[in-house]
Amino acid sequence: MDFAGCGALNLDIIYELQSSDFSNVLGFDLQPGHEVVLPRERLAGTLERLSEHGRMIARSGGGSAANTMCILAAMGRTTMFFGVAGAEKAGEEVIASMRGVDTSLVQRLNENQVCIVLLSRKSRDRGLCVFSASQSLFEVPETWMKALPHVRCLHLSSFSNPRQLRLQEELAGHLEAHQLLSLDPGEIYSALGRERLTGLLKRTNILFITEHEVELLTGMAVYDGAKCLLSMLCSHRPEFKLFEQTAGAIVVVKQGKKGAAAFGCDGLILQMNACEVKEVVDTTGAGDAFNAGFLSAMFAGEGLEVCIKEGHRMAALSISDFGRNWLNVLVASDGFFQHLKGIGLPV
């Protein structure tokens, strides 16, 4: 198995609003570009407010690591997922959305976690409201441990409940030296501070993170923060071309429209602009698509520049449609290349 993902499995419900003042519509604070976690009991009231002030435009499976695994599967990589889905209809919907991903080890518990995605009709800004499930998994199932040795790369993203960090730390601690660990902490984990993430960071080979998350995690500006995080990562150098250039672990700072910056042992190694696209439909999951493009290129033996370029291309493709709908163009190469041309990307 090329990749296994572990993190939240969400049911994403996407609403479009006229305004980007999400806080006024919701009745609680949510700024564009950010994410909040709320108890499940507040979901019904939030949906009621959104039915009055917004328009539901799509439903999709979601979750950062889950998105990345789905994209890698669509790109031809073998993938599986360690996570928790609801035992009800929503859980079935989420699992069905994981096309091409081995979900046989996903645990089924109670109700599924829901993520409300808010999109501003004019600015295309987005905000995320995660309504956590009432029951969570806190111990690693034996089936996950049996499958872990057969995985070449474990890719982690956040759970909504920080207590589940221990579960991911246990998985990371059982990886062999030749197995990669890539981590995208997102805003939820980054807000915990770097001390809480030390257990994961010390085993991480590739850290995918945004500028805002670097500042949250370290309390430092991006350049100093990235160097600080790099010093905390795994010292082992895996046998990929990419790590010959970085001389060890790598921090990839995702900068939205500005592109991405890669930091290795000598500091900033490469800065590359993002792709320009004709129209932005939905930016949700663009960072997850970047991760998939980067990781797939790395597994193909490519160097850092090509890895970032492929990350940008997948991210640009992802913002051309809502949720995971854009993945339909990856299943057939003709449709994929035609779509790339249609949104103005190089083939």
Structure tokens at 231: 């010093």
pTM score of the predicted model: 0.90
Residue 17 pairs in a beta bridge with 54, 120
DSSP E strand stretches across the chain: 3-6, 10-17, 35-39, 54-62, 79-82, 84-85, 101-102, 107-108, 113-120, 126-132, 153-157, 180-184, 206-210, 250-254, 260-264, 267-272
The whole-angstrom separation of Cα 197 and Cα 189 is 8
Task: Give yes or no for a contact between 132 and 37, defined as CB atoms under 8 angstroms apart.
Answer: yes
Distances (CA, A) of 282 to 121, 323, 328: 10, 7, 16
Task: Give yes or no for a contact between 281 and 323, defined as CB atoms under 8 angstroms apart.
Answer: no
Burial group, residue 150, by CB count within 10 angstroms (0-12, 13-18, 19+)? exposed
The pLDDT value recorded for residue 297 is: 95
- Each residue of 196-231: pLDDT tens digit? 999 999 999 999 999 999 999 999 999 999 999 999
Q: What separation, in Å, do the N-terminal and C-terminal C-alpha atoms of the chain show?
A: 28
Mean of the per-residue pLDDT values for the chain? 88
Mean pLDDT, residues 312-322: 85
- Each residue of 33-81: pLDDT tens digit? 788 899 888 999 999 988 888 889 888 899 999 999 999 999 999 999 9
Percent of the chain's residues with pLDDT above 70 = 93
The whole-angstrom separation of Cα 181 and Cα 203 is 7
Mean pLDDT check: name the lowest of 153-162, 290-299, 304-313, 321-330: 321-330
- Asked whether the predicted pLDDT for residue 315 surpasses 80, the reply is yes
